[in-house]
Amino acid sequence: SLLTLFLGDVRVRSRAGFETERRGSHPYIDFRIFHSNSEIEVSVSARNVRRLLSFQRYLRSSRFFRGITVPNSSNILDDDYNGQAKCMLEKVGNWNFDIFLFDRLTNGNSLVSLTFHLFNLHGLIEHFQLDTMKLRRFLVMVQEDYHSQNPYHNAVHAADVTQAMHCYLKEPKLSKSLTPWDVLLSLIAAATHDLDHPGVNQPFLIKTNHYLATLYKNTSVLENHHWRSAVGLLRESGLFAHMSLENRQLMESQIGDLILATDISQQNEYLSMFRSHLDRGDLCLENANHRHFILQMALKCADICNPCRTWELSKQWSEKVTEEFFHQGNPNSLVSLGDIEKKYHLGVSPLCDRQTETVANIQIG
């Protein structure tokens, strides 16, 4: 059944480069009432080109990761920015880490640069004998499968969540019990937890009979898609091809457990389980199942930790998420999701009506 769902969601890319042959989740690729065929063709073509250029840009902008210098470089500004980015990574465990600045310093490659650094910092490359070129290729594909036109659910958000997850992983009480396997799963899940997010919420996908809603029977639609998309990229990159099939399947399953835990509609269930453990005092981090549950809670916290950041960072995130609520699914227009829902009599989603909502009200909840 897993294979059937996987094949129904992700079409495996057959080329060695970065062109995609699977359909993305963006609803306006499917809902032709919003875009013409020519617009769709241009969008797909542009994304294919962007994927290739992103990899080339990353290779240039991340020379300091590989210890490669280019003699007589006239691009002094880029070299200086790389130096600043490297300095920032020395403080990657700081809760006040400015992911927006880091994204600018890495030329839009914050997710690739930060995640690669964390793999190296935690000793995962050596421990799991990873091919660094395959790792970079996997991370570039992940980064490019986030939609940059989404104000909030984009690669910068994924990088921010990955950095927050790293902060949690280094907490003394937790870190002393974690295995390299735990850390590996946590970082991959954090980096891919919103992969190929369409910029609209689950109720919108259900109301519009989107193929993902049908495929996943209206249950954790986005989270299931993020997970299956991550599995597709893991398999395509061959990053863990040297592992046994059993270990690869276990990895895919446990990454799924982590990503599915970020479904906000399941919040009460996880909180209830967490409170029960705390009331009984029976959480044991030596127990692999208990550790995995704590990692699920950690990823949930990392995913929505924006209000806990410094005011300067938190304010930016609150503005971006509000912008997406008002503009999600139609990034090239001033028409909001609420406007679209009104036009097609779908019922306006909570928090998405620009006429009645404000940033402050949305943050209050």
Tell me: the pLDDT tens digits for 109-127?
Answer: 999 999 999 999 999 999 9
Q: Is residue 51 part of a domain?
A: yes
One-letter amino acid of 182: D
The answer on whether 210 is annotated among ligand-binding residues is no
Q: Has residue 173 been placed in a domain?
A: yes
Q: Read off the pLDDT of each residue in 203-218 and give the average, rounded to a whole number.
A: 90
Angle among Cα 64, 236, 109 to the nearest 5 degrees reads 30
Distance CA 47, CA 318 (A): 27
Name the 3-class secondary structure at 99: helix
Q: How does pLDDT run across 293-318, given as a tens digit for each residue?
A: 999 999 999 999 999 999 999 999 99
Q: Does 218 show up as a binding residue in the annotation?
A: no
What pLDDT sits at residue 356? 66
Higher pLDDT, 159 or 11: 159
98 is in an annotated binding site: no
Which of 48-62, 112-126, 136-150, 331-345 is predicted with the least confidence, judged by mean pLDDT? 48-62
Q: What is the pLDDT of residue 16?
A: 31
Is 156 labeled as ligand-binding? yes
Measured over the CA atoms of residue 192, residue 195, residue 201 and residue 207, the dihedral's sign is: negative
Q: Is the pLDDT of residue 217 over 80?
A: yes
Give the integer Cα–Cα distance in Å for 57 and 14: 23
279 within a domain of the structure (yes/no): yes
**Range with the lowest mean pLDDT among 53-57, 188-192, 196-200, 204-208?**
53-57
In a domain, 43, yes or no: yes
Question: 313 lies in a domain?
Answer: no
pLDDT greater at residue 12 or residue 135: 135
Q: Is residue 339 part of a domain?
A: no
Per the structure, the count of domains in the chain is: 1
The Cα-based distances of 220 to 207, 266, 277 in angstroms read 14, 9, 25
User: Mind listing the pLDDT tens digit for each residue in 338-358?
Assistant: 556 666 666 666 666 666 666
Least reliable range by pLDDT among 12-21, 44-53, 148-157: 12-21
The predicted pLDDT at position 209 comes to 85
Which has the minimum average pLDDT: 23-32, 279-288, 302-311, 335-344?
23-32
User: Which domain does 49 fall in, by range?
Assistant: 2-12+21-304
Whether the pLDDT of residue 61 is over 50: the answer is no
Among the ranges given (14-28, 127-141, 287-301), the one the predictor scored with the smallest mean pLDDT = 14-28
Q: Which carries the bigger pLDDT value, residue 68 or residue 164?
A: 164
Residue 163 pLDDT > 50, yes or no?
yes
Q: What is the pLDDT, as a whole number, of residue 199? A: 87
Determine the average pLDDT of the residues in 31-53: 48
Q: Residue 3 pLDDT > 50, yes or no?
A: yes
**DSSP sequence for 17-82:** SS---S--S-HHHH-TTTS-HHHHHHHHHHHHHHHHHHHHHHHHHTHHHHT---TT---HHHHHHH
The answer to whether 109 is annotated as binding is no
Q: Does 132 reside within a domain?
A: yes
197 assigned to a ligand binding site: no
Pair 327, 151: CB distance under 8 Å: yes
Token couple for 186: 């946590």
Residue 9 marked in a binding site: no
- Higher-pLDDT residue of 139, 201: 139
The percentage of the chain sitting over the pLDDT mark of 70, rounded to a whole number, equals 67
- Say what the pLDDT of residue 32 is: 36
Residue 186 has pLDDT above 90, yes or no: yes
> pLDDT category, 218, cuts 50, 70, 90?
very high
More confident residue, 51 or 229: 229
CATH code for the domain of 241: 1.10.1300.10
Q: Give the C-alpha separation, 285 to 176, whole Å.
A: 9
Annotated catalytic residue, options 26, 35, 153, 166: 153
Establish whether 363 is an annotated binding residue. yes
Is 292 an annotated catalytic residue?
no
- Per the annotation, does 153 bind a ligand? yes
Residue 317 lies in a domain: no
